[in-house]
Amino acid sequence: MNQPSLFNMYNQTKAGVVFDPKKGIEISKLFPVSETRDLNIIPYKYHIYPTGETHPFSDMANNLKGSDFPFITSKSERGIKILKPMLSIHFDYPMITLQSLNEGNNTACILFHKIVGRAFFKPPKGLTWQECERKYVFHHKDNKTWNYRVSNLEHIPQKQNITGKKKKASRKDVFEQAKIRGLV
């Protein structure tokens, strides 16, 4: 069994997975200022890893169990912290808030699966992420937006993503959603 060196900074996720902070993908490089001036994420502060963490609701749903969820770390003078995505009743996709260098708005709220996709997929046909932003999306294969595992995402054309969706929700479905959200 290999023992970690005292001189290397190793950390552990809540799932008990040991990770090396030097091996994550630096998030500011995924959203270069030349492409997305509105984000301007602080360089070298945030890193993403493909697996090793649990879902915030893993104790409540079988399809969210496991330690194979991607995770983001935040580095500060106090050490390294694992950030959990924000989940909301009012928005279907997990999001993450990262500090930005922009004046006036020093945070950037980004869809978690978009960061995962940019980190672990390549843009199609040699395009930049900015060029394919409007034509391609990161699709959840099982259509469950809270399942942001790398293995559940695929990069597909926008048209293909729309074809699998229902045109109109049934009256019963609309009422059930209203009940769930406490509107009735």
* pLDDT score for 7: 45
Q: What is the pTM of this model?
A: 0.80
Q: Which of 90, 91, 94 shows the shortest CA–CA distance to 53?
A: 94
Q: How confident is the prediction along the chain (184 residues), in pLDDT tens digits per residue?
A: 455 444 445 678 877 788 888 889 999 999 887 666 678 899 999 999 999 999 999 999 999 999 999 999 999 999 999 999 998 888 889 999 999 887 776 888 899 999 999 999 998 887 888 888 888 999 999 989 999 999 999 999 988 887 655 556 678 877 887 888 788 7
pLDDT number for residue 17: 81
Give one DSSP letter per residue of 140-174, joined into a string: ETTS-TT---GGGEEEEEHHHHHHTS-SS--HHHH
For residue 73, what pLDDT is reported? 95
